[in-house]
A and B are shown apart, each in its own frame.
Chain A
Amino acid sequence: MPLNSGRYLARRALQGALLVLGVLVFSFALIHLAPGDPIIVLAGDGGNAAYYAEMRARYGLDRPLPERLLRYVLAVASGDSGYSFSYRQPVFQVILSRAPATLLLMGSALLFAVVVGVSLGVLSALRPRTALDYGISVFTLVAAAMPVFWVGQVLIIIFAGRLGLFPVQGMISLRARHTGVRAALDALHHLALPALTLGLPQLALLTRLTRTSLREQLDEDYVRTARAKGLQERVIILSHALRNALLPIITVIGGQVGVLITGAALTETIFAWPGLGRLLLDAALSRDYPLLMALFITAAISVVVANLLTDVIYTLLDPRVRYD
């Protein structure tokens, strides 16, 4: 990459940092202004007024909001993200312990969506207005329209409940506690349904996108030229048309990280998957402010980084793209 794209990246990183700060302030205001407070989590029920007042003071919940925001920003800036109200542990540790499960789930879902989605899209684009094309079209419309929590429950009922092909829930078999290769297979077995659930809407999106994008490319002059040169159709499609068709798809994938995080919250709850999405839901319901804030910031950083990576990959794939 040329030198000035390094400068571009630095500028983008700075923008990203400002964006994250904005998200921090905005979400801080949002979650603290929402009705309800974490006092039940902190103090339990059946206490007297003195006790609740004491606990509010102990955790700074009695201070004015601007002061709390300032203290929070200063603490985060000095590297202290605070203690989770419900886990009574530094939030950093809590998030770290739950991140691998979510990365595994999101990674698998994305991989599944890209491989199957792009394949279906190519098939569809090569046989336009055939039964296959229409079939795929209907499938993608239905898949995109179904809400994640519903798909998850239906998959559990059919494939785990009725047919017994997959485990209902969890990430590993707690009773058996396999090791080595069997542990990996066991995890894969548990991963299948949640990854399918989370990946399905992405798959639908990518299929439609691939089809449209590839159809456009196939109408381009360079494809006609290639055909005139007598190149094999396979080479034309895979090496030339698809390569160009994938550019917008990469942009979209980069932008879908946020959607995936939302979907993970639902998928992880249905499948009892011990990841960050469920942690986010639990933190919101219990008003665990420090944990909730840290999760929002983590999510914001992930989205910013994903977009930045997309841009970098773009320059590698398309020599025409230059940032300066």
Chain B
Amino acid sequence: MARSLRILLAFALVALLAACGGQAAAPTAAPATVPAAPTDAPTSRPTVAAAEEPTVVPTAEPAATGPRRGGAVVVVQSSDPGSLNPAITTAGPVHTITDQIFNGLVGLDDQLNPVPELAESWEISADGTVYTFKLRPGVTWHDGAPFTSADVKFSFEEALLKFHARTRAGLENVLTAIDTPDELTVVFRLARPYGPLLQRLDVVEASIIPQHIFAGKDLQNNPANLNPIGTGPFKFVEYVKGERIVLERNPAYFRAGRPYLDQVIFQIIPDPGTALLALERGEVDYLGSVPGAEVERLKAMPELVVVPGYGGSGGSFCQITLIPNMTRPPFDTPEVRQAFYHALDRQLILDRVYFGQGAVSTGPISSQVEWAYSPAVLPYPHDPARAEKLLDAAGYPRDAAGNRLTVVFTHPSSFARLGEVLREQLKTVGVTLELEAMDMPAAVDKVFVQKDFELGVASYCNGSDPEIGVRRVYVSSNIGPIPFSNGAGYVNPEVDKLFDEAAALTDRAERAAIYAVLQRQIVDDLPYFWLVDSAGYRAYRATFDGFRVSAGPFLEEAHLITGDS
């Protein structure tokens, strides 16, 4: 039964990948495939975005027929989304589906640069506090109503800034007013210059919802949340709870000719082993996160394509991170934290627990966020002897039994495999790790809300900008009872200041310079033990192509290449 064993192991890994607030995500270092489909080429290029738009080099594909039209794709959805309103939730299972139905003001390309979407162009005032968006004309909602600037204003004021956790936290003190001088113009007025604004306006962070459906009604328990009306490439058809969500092609989509598929079926399959077999047997076509142990076997199957990529919306560029409680012994002592980091063999953890998928972390920003990542930080090589010296110096000598101290590792049960390896490695330096496994909500409660723990763990996801997913982990203002916040209780006023400075700049190179300083400072302080910059794999039937690597609207350019669906 070697196979069932593999599937059991697969369980552990997938559950682990799903660790960041329930968002199963599998980011990648570099896109492995460039979609063969033509890229978006709006007639009027945006004034600012044009400078940042990357040149997409066409692949060696013969420029013959273009993507095939028609057919249906069945996509594995690992959990029931519940309701389908993307503007009031950050939940990954919701956004995987709604990001195909809705749009943001801007899109993000595979390098995370903003590109035109509902906004066709934008201008930024010289002082960086006024953003003027020109909306794409002629866009309609799926029910036929015209899309206007009023929808944008409504979405932000009534939904996103009230109920979308990340957007509210990031923008409520930044965005002071939204003006709509005419139906196709939206003006954002900011309290201060804010560089990452455009990165926060994509469909994941700020889906635009229809005012004419929701105006004046309760957004939380609105029946319209189960019958979503968007502007995106696919229209909602039906949602059978626990079983399926069906979308169909939006023939009136503003990017003419797209999408290529007639129908998308999300099938809810909670068990990763079952989902894998269903893919192998052809019952489903696309699996967003392949269990690590299965990747090599699947790669050998000619009917499947296995590529690195994102699992879904929301959680991208995640880092498996240990959280020492800095507010109490033993981790209030810097030497103890340094000793722990030196005692851990991160390469071995990457290889044994994560099947070599990803990279060894060096600091608070994932190496996959290439523009902001800096490797110029203090390295903490695997060095048990040094760890022992540091522990001696910190006042934790070995006792008669060879034990220096005992630490409780509070973790969601999906991190059980990691816990075993950590215990093994820490034992060599005389540290006993007690494993305390619980289910995800209980572990989050204990570590982030009750703060009653010694060593915790989380998969912190960087998101499309350090301002979205990195800042929250390190600034002292985010220590409160908040899930996936500054769990260590790390306080450094200099760090707080640098995050604010980086956010106020618009230029990426200037911001990167500040993030480099930040990374050096934070790694010196060592408030967390960053283990692995996660990467994952997705797999699909070889009859398909064109799935986008990045989160968000990954189906817009997907198409069949051969045979019938």
Contacts and interface: CB of A to CB of B under 8 A. Distances in A.
B221 A83 contact: yes
Interface stretch (B36-44, B72-80, B101-109, B524-532): B72-80
Q: Looking at chain B's contact residues, is the secondary structure mostly helix, strand, loop, or mixed? A: mixed
A122 interface: no
Given A45-B483, A49-B482, A174-B74, A169 B269 contact: yes
A267 to B, nearest CB: 11
Contacts of B79: 282
Interface string B447-460: 00110000000000
Contact of A274 (B242, B439, B449, B565): B242
A281 to B, nearest CB: 8
B142 interface: no
B562 interface: no
Contacts of B274: 156, 168-169, 270-272
A311 interface: no
Interface in B238-290: 240-244, 265, 267-271, 273-275, 277-278, 280-281, 283
In this complex, which of B172, B226, B269, B468 has the most chain A Cβ atoms within 10 angstroms of its Cβ? B269
Interface residues of A, number: 55
Interface in B435-451: 438-446, 449-450
Interface of B: 1, 3-4, 7, 20-23, 72, 74, 79-80, 82-83, 89-91, 163-166, 168-169, 172, 220-223, 225-226, 240-244, 265, 267-271, 273-275, 277-278, 280-281, 283, 438-446, 449-450, 468-469, 472, 478, 480-484, 565
B440 to A, nearest CB: 7
Contacts of A156: 273-274, 277
A89 B226 contact: yes
Given A46-B484, A98-B242, A269-B270, 4 more contacts: A35-B446, A36-B439, A39-B483, A89-B221
A46 B468 contact: yes
A37 B164 CA distance: 19
B543 to A, nearest CB: 13
A38 B481 CA distance: 13
Interface stretch (A70-78, A157-165, A181-189): A157-165
B278 A168 contact: yes
Can you list the 10 inter-chain pairs with the closest CB atoms, starting with the nearest? A36-B441, A47-B165, A274-B242, A44-B90, A45-B21, A86-B82, A274-B243, A46-B166, A49-B480, A44-B165
A168 B445 contact: no
Contacts of A38: 441
Contacts of B72: 175
Nearest to B472: A46
Nearest to B439: A285
A168 B277 contact: yes
A41 B22 CA distance: 9
Contacts of A269: 270-271
Given A87-B83, A274-B243, A168 B268 contact: no
10 contacts: A34-B442, A36-B444, A44-B89, A45-B166, A46-B169, A49-B481, A170-B283, A272-B243, A272-B274, A286-B22
